[in-house]
Amino acid sequence: MSTEAMILLKCPTCPAQLPPDAVRQMATAFGAARARTCEALDGTETYIYLEIDKAQQQPAFAAAVGDKTRELFGSSGVKAVAMTRVAEKAGASAGQVAPFFYTVEITASAERMPEVSGWYDGEHMPDLASVPGTVRARRFLSHGAEQTSYACYDITTSTIRETPEWQSKLGTPWSNRVRPHFLNLKRNMFRALPVTEFTNA
């Protein structure tokens, strides 16, 4: 089943240091079907993605996630982002094992996000999905005055960005027109740990 919504938990510490069973409680509260833990290769942070197979109503979803995060994680430093899936595409290496997870976070104003989304969904994501080694490409969007786009790539190798095939997809005329609208840009390469399935979701 395709993920319709996501809760991203950004953790400055490893999962073992989180409050006991807090992630499972968070998943249960929102009916998450799966959890994927991703550890940054540079060791700076851990991202935990709670995947939800049902569409969520915004902005109530984001408000509820914020409240539950404060309740469960307190002062642990965990930050939560409520997201909605806006695009998904099978990659050139669909079906292969993807031990790595590459993400790109871009913030833009609500006024500019439609233009950014048009580029992402119409050119950039299909181009990167076509690169050998890309298993799947998805994009999620947060909500607010300054929206954040989360592009997520399941990949077979952590060095995919260095390949000629990947590099050939960058710096297009459309990319050059859109990039000035990025307010923030963050890239992360993660090691993807085994997915946890929640049978009670």
Query: What is the mean pLDDT of the segment spanning 88-115?
Result: 94
Q: What is the pTM of this model?
A: 0.92
Task: Name the CA radius of gyration of the chain, rounded.
Answer: 17
pLDDT at 172: 96
Q: Is the pLDDT of residue 200 over 90?
A: no
35-65 pLDDT, tens digit each? 999 999 988 899 999 999 999 988 899 999 9
pLDDT band for 201, please (50, 70, 90 cuts).
very low
Class of domain 5-197: alpha beta
138 membership: H or E segment, kind and range: strand 134-141
- The CA-atom distances, in angstroms, between 188 and each of 41, 45, 69, 72, 153 are 8, 10, 23, 26, 11
Q: Is the pLDDT of residue 1 over 80?
A: no
Q: Which two tokens stand for residue 2?
A: 């395709």
pLDDT band for 144, please (50, 70, 90 cuts).
low
pLDDT above 70 covers a percentage of the chain that reads: 96
Query: What is the mean pLDDT of the segment spanning 142-160?
Result: 90
Domain range annotation of the chain: 5-197
pLDDT above 90 covers a percentage of the chain that reads: 75
